[in-house]
Structure 1
């Protein structure tokens, strides 16, 4: 049986226009947008959205998803995520879930490629550590074969390994993203000139603007830096380099904002946040990070001001800037909900509400070559969020969710959150995966 949503105000995220219409859904797709006095079909599951506003399902363009909290994204209206480093074998069931699953559709990279000795330790299922360009090429080929949608490079990578990985990825039609937050030698400009497609977190920009600085060095000699007011000419020049090569930017401003504002963090009291706060694994990890708060603020989160300045400048120049969160990194980056704070920050730095919405819908989808999501139209995937107010008037309305439709199936937040697996189930799945991974690695 199909679904009919009546009396809602549709937000066209491409133009910013709003209009009253009914949405007829057949299977996983939008069959018709029914306007005015056109007759409505009979015999469908009907949802009355009178007084409500309807937007496409949101897209988190930088996160690290896991079985335990995957439903929390959909409960937050985030129906698609770009997973920036992980393991496609570990995520197999999530990646291949049905369109109407209570977990988000996933556009995933495989394990990140890092330099020795490896920021997350030696080579494992989640990272590949090498200083050998040929080993990096073989790893890219392996990732292409197992279905990675793009390649993720990490901060201790050497210049020659980075160049080899980028070159190999191009042979396989894969984009390359890079995170240079903790880079010792390679800067964002080095990566841009080498041909990366994505700069994550605006990382490596501080190393370019302030030669010799990195989070790993003594910070006292760099105390002169005003982290909230950088040389605009230098920022313009970097953005021009990116624009000339069509490099895309995912700033993840919420990641730094939450850490810098702690303990006065953004923490809306709603069903999703309450559910996350009951998850011991999350709360324990974030509380452990609080113990290192001074170091996090001084060496990592301090770049948040630069991140905002770069994101606004690049957007104003016409560059591709999309919304992501890096969930569950650092401090209280709530799965799904953190994206709503990212949209608020986009507005705070000077984008319009429409532009913020676009960064998590149509622009996000188009940035990774997907045209069936990110917009409400006939023939598109029936991923949508029914809101209690108009986010074009106040972006905060994106988190006031009445219902979510994922792949044509109507959900409320309680139903989705109730399906989240428990810690015991997740641990058993992880053990099963590790046994499979060990057997693959031993061949």
Structure 2
């Protein structure tokens, strides 16, 4: 009898450490508190049933029927919410898919069920296809093509040619980087509209945010160009004098100009991906040591963390840097973030990882916290990674936890509407048809540790 019980325990443990499919089999979350995201509320003590990648039933515990063969997850006291998006993600732009799979798992383990890769590579098209077919486990993947910047696009003709090539290749978006001009940028934007592919990313200094808005960016990332747009005398400066995202001139900005900027963004329905975590960590007054020892750094190669430390130290050592001006720059960005929320400019959740002290997946939790610090409520922040993304992507059955919608879900141990820090406490993730238990995710994360090896 003891042997049978021991073998049963081993079988259950093995099952917990593997993804469980709901294709043809119900998975049931029993006695769970639901954060549906259609309102700032919690539905307490619910039963949620998912099958074949969809939510098939939702109701008060004891009132919902399910089959005897269902996998029942005791979720009493836990919270179930739609999965989040990382809309400024980076997947290695290389020919080897294996390192890409590692990054995908870091995202999944942190409850991120959709990513938009923002520096494309031809291999990403194959990766996207294998994720969609189920051959590779990963979040839903939207990919940009290779970068449009001052080095890759030297003429208007070349810009238009690259747009047509990337549209034909099948990329979802174009990624714009700095260095575009008033000759090359209009050709890119015009051709993108002609062939029907959206463009997103940085705003080149010589283009400026007003032309970017008029051209119809799909999303402006990093709040790029915002500080320059509200800084008096910007027409007397060159790019190198303004600093990354306007970090050297933020203390000079005129906040009375913010409403005009917000109105322009709203009127043209330009989405904003703030990547506030990048600014709060790289461009802050704090030292590199404040971030380099964080627990999640163990998932990055030591050499990469060293590069991040050097980048931070170089920023702090720049003659244009002072702690007071750096803090003023961050305060300005927080005002811009709050203004976006207050003025109906749709924010999309994104943190830019891997990037200086932003580890894939983990940095999204920092991003959420920084947005709360900027004055958004936890519910407003959670919408940026769920409801707003579903609207942006044209996915009416994403982003809200209700019957008929896709079963991209995160199970948490605490209520994120009361404490945004609870997003870190992931008990399991549903990505479409697969349930990834905490045991499975913990084991996978252990395999990805880089430091100390």
Query: Could you say whether these structures have the same fold, taking a TM-score greater than 0.5 normalized by the shorter chain as the test?
Result: yes
Q: Normalised by the size of structure 2, how large is the TM-score?
A: 0.81
Q: CA deviation at 1:226?
A: 5.4
Structure 2 partner of 1:71: 105
1:370-381 equivalent positions in 2, closer than 5 A: 370-381=395-406
**Equivalent of 1:191, from 182, 195, 212?**
212
SS in 2 for 1:5: strand
Q: Is the 8 Å Cα contact of residues 146 and 175 (structure 2) preserved in structure 1?
A: yes
1:5-154 equivalent positions in 2, closer than 5 A: 5-19=29-43, 20-36=45-61, 37-66=63-92, 67=100, 68-90=102-124, 92-98=126-132, 101-115=136-150, 118=151, 129-154=152-177
Q: How many residues are matched?
A: 402
Distance 1:62 1:313, change over 3 A: same
Is the radius of gyration larger for structure 1 or structure 2?
Answer: 2
Superposed CA RMSD in Å reads 2.8
Structure 2 residue 287 is the aligned partner of structure 1 residue 262: yes
Structure 2 residue 385 is the aligned partner of structure 1 residue 355: no
User: Partners in 2 of 1:104 and 1:223 — Cα distance?
Assistant: 33
Q: CA deviation at 1:416?
A: 3.4
Between 135-144 and 65-74, report the one with greater CA deviation. 65-74
User: Partners in 2 of 1:372 and 1:215 — Cα distance?
Assistant: 43
Q: CA deviation at 1:42?
A: 1.8
**Equivalent of 1:284, from 306, 310, 318?**
306
Unaligned runs of 5+ in 2: 1-24, 93-99
Q: Is the 8 Å Cα contact of residues 382 and 408 (structure 1) preserved in structure 2?
A: yes
SS in 2 for 1:159: coil
The structure with more helix, counted as a fraction of residues: 2
User: Partners in 2 of 1:155 and 1:47 — Cα distance?
Assistant: 48
Unaligned runs of 5+ in 1: 119-128, 424-443
- Can you list the C-alpha shifts for 1:14-64, whole angstroms capped at 9, x where unaligned? 212211322212122222224342333321111111000111111011121
- Can you list the C-alpha shifts for 1:233-278, whole angstroms capped at 9, x where unaligned? 21111111111111111111000101213336468966xx16415x
Structure 2 partner of 1:417: 445
**Equivalent of 1:208, from 217, 223, 229?**
229
Distance 1:313 1:353, change over 3 A: same
Q: Is the 8 Å Cα contact of residues 99 and 406 (structure 1) preserved in structure 2?
A: no
Q: Is the 8 Å Cα contact of residues 344 and 396 (structure 1) preserved in structure 2?
A: yes
Distance 1:218 1:191, change over 3 A: closer
Q: CA deviation at 1:419?
A: 6.2
Q: Normalised by the size of structure 1, how large is the TM-score?
A: 0.83
SS in 2 for 1:170: helix
Structure 1 partner of 2:9: none
